[in-house]
Amino acid sequence: MSNDQSSQPDTLNSAERATIDASVAAPVILFFGTAIFWLLFGSVFELISAIKLVWPSFLDGFGLLTYGRTSIVSINALAYGWATPAAIGIGLWLTARLCRVQLDRTKILIAAGIIWNIGTFIGVAGILIGDNTSISHLNFPGYSTHILLLSFVLIAIWAIVTFNQRQSGPLYVSQWFLVAGFFSFPWLFATASQLLIWKPLQASAQPAIAAWFAGGFFNLWLAPMGLAAAFYLIPKTIGRSISSQHLSLLAFWSILLFGAWSGTSRLIGGPLPAWMVSVGVAASVMMIIPALAVAINLHLTLDGHYAPMSWSPALRFTITGVSMLVFTWVLTAINSLPAVNAVTNFSEITRALNLLGYYGFFSMTAFGAIYYILPRLTGKEWPSSCLISWHFWLATTGVLLGVTVLILGGLIQGFALQDIGVTFRSSMDFIFPFRFVAALAALLIVGANLAFALVFAGLSWSLRRTGTAPALIAVREENSQEPVAV
């Protein structure tokens, strides 16, 4: 893998690119389009939950909309309706481009996309009517997870076939991450569904497996897919190669090894064998290695070439997203130290880290990737640079504001929960103003997602007007290797 050629994403000419892109256009647009719907849906539920935390009588007394359901619906709609399909869409497009093959079996993918959304819809409806499994990050009832797994098996088969057909040559770093993600997700999902939901084990064995799944879902599925996009888009947009192949290798293998073992650090002091917690803590702390490797590698690649961030939405979102991944891993490492965790566990800091990782890193990176991919698939420019700018600033402000207040408030809440002299009621009083600001942050994020949905709707609408010139002004990527519309 340490071949010079492999530091370049691909060496296709624009006609070849256009043919390959056209062959995956339909399924990728399907995955992105439905993902954006669930993004909006999930973030509205997140806002409802945030308001309920501050003002419990908001929409109170309805079983369908009790806090315990709205908050779980938002997490799962975002994880399985938005993040996973967005990761799949990015993965499909990158696979086709990097394997340099045209695809002729897209009907499988379209079927998989439709099945996936049916599964998500049934899962969300199942939670709302009271079939929540109470397994963190896997709350969809058993009858919907079968459907999701079936869909993913179709996608995995397609990915294996495509990788087998690829034109020979060294594998590019994004391809390592794609293989890791497409391999890990079905294994994680099938194991957890089988052992925790379909035929649940005795509950004494469940916490370790649930923690393994929750850690793996982020570190072995979303993180690799987001990084696959980043390692492709950043060199492409600025026209340079990834700086260090060795740092890429270090990052890749350390993410896989430590990421796979990191989940149990969320159960410090919990009911499972002490060695499992110790391993989880060690692995979570070691995630500082990939954090530094990614940060240094991408910084060396970008050094002196940060300027395109000012006009390229793809680059701006991606770099912001990857920076937040680095922060997520560093903060999670600190939060996993037992002395720190004794104070912070069960406080709002857990929510802060989820917001930073899932929205700050993954969603931002996925936004960047979608801004890059869709114009190339459709041959149309994004309709409004103003809305894209709103999207970026609302999202960034929302995440940073939310994470900051939840960490500060979480610290105060955590010390109150840990202090024998402070009552539980005081911990609630202390956190109240922070939760209020966090609800405002949730509102900003809904605004950001709405702006994104509008830009996407504008692009879809311009597609129907065949024969006209590319709609309106676009954010020009002057330094890109590729012409914007191929």
Partner 1 sequence: MNKLTLLFTGIFLTFGSAWIGLVAYPVANLAHMEALPDEETGGLLPPTQSGLAVAGQKVYAANGCMECHTQQVRPDPLTADIAKQLGKRQTVPRDEIRDRTAFLGEYRIGQDLSNFGARETDAAAIHRHLYSPKSVTPWSNMPSYSYLYEYRKIVSQPSAHALQGLTGPRAPKPGYEVVPTQQAEALVAYLLSLNQNYPLPESPEPTAK
Show contacts with partner 1 in window 393-432 (CB under 8 A): 417-420, 424-425, 427-429
435 Cα distance to chain centroid: 24
66 is a site residue for partner 1 (CB under 8 A): yes
253 is a site residue for partner 1 (CB under 8 A): yes
Other Cβ atoms within 10 Å of 61 Cβ, number: 7
Member of 32, 38, 45, 212 binding partner 1 (CB under 8 A)? 212
For the record, the structure tokens of 25 come out as: 């256009």
* Residues numbered 183-202 forming contacts with partner 1, rule: CB under 8 A: 183-184, 187, 191, 195-196, 200-202
Q: How far apart are CA 236 and CA 373, in angstroms?
A: 12
SS (H, E, C) 268-289: CCCCCCHHHHHHHHHHHHHCHH
* Residues numbered 102-161 forming contacts with partner 1, rule: CB under 8 A: 130-136
47 is a site residue for partner 1 (CB under 8 A): no
- Shortest separation between residue 286's beta carbon and partner 1, angstroms: 13
Q: How far apart are CA 355 and CA 406, in angstroms?
A: 10
Amino acid at residue number 208: A
Q: How far apart are CA 63 and CA 66, in angstroms?
A: 5
Sorted by sequence, the CB contacts under 8 Å of residue 232 that are 6+ apart come out as 9, 94, 97, 98, 172, 174
Member of 8, 16, 68, 385 binding partner 1 (CB under 8 A)? 68
- Shortest separation between residue 18's beta carbon and partner 1, angstroms: 27
- Mask of contacts with partner 1, 432-451, x by CB under 8 A? --------------------
- C-beta of 420 vs 469, nearer to partner 1: 420
- Shortest separation between residue 143's beta carbon and partner 1, angstroms: 15
- Shortest separation between residue 433's beta carbon and partner 1, angstroms: 14
Q: How far apart are CA 194 and CA 264, in angstroms?
A: 19
* Residues numbered 343-372 forming contacts with partner 1, rule: CB under 8 A: 345-348, 350-351
- Shortest separation between residue 341's beta carbon and partner 1, angstroms: 9
Cα distances from 176 to residues 220, 280, 370, in angstroms, run 12, 24, 20
Sorted by sequence, the CB contacts under 8 Å of residue 141 that are 6+ apart come out as 122, 123, 126, 127, 131, 132, 133, 197
- C-beta of 377 vs 431, nearer to partner 1: 431
5 is a site residue for partner 1 (CB under 8 A): no
* Residues numbered 215-244 forming contacts with partner 1, rule: CB under 8 A: 216, 220
Handedness of CA 457, 463, 469, 474 (dihedral sign): positive
**Given the rule CB under 8 A, which of 11-19, 169-177, 323-331, 444-452 is the region that contacts partner 1?**
169-177
Member of 31, 38, 158, 176 binding partner 1 (CB under 8 A)? 176
279 is a site residue for partner 1 (CB under 8 A): yes
- Mask of contacts with partner 1, 292-331, x by CB under 8 A? ----------------------------------------
Nearest to 318 by CA among 309, 330, 331: 309
Cα distances from 220 to residues 161, 205, 473, in angstroms, run 22, 22, 38
Q: How far apart are CA 455 and CA 434, in angstroms?
A: 32
**Given the rule CB under 8 A, which of 18-26, 178-186, 385-393, 395-403 is the region that contacts partner 1?**
178-186
**Given the rule CB under 8 A, which of 13-21, 203-211, 235-243, 380-388 is the region that contacts partner 1?**
203-211
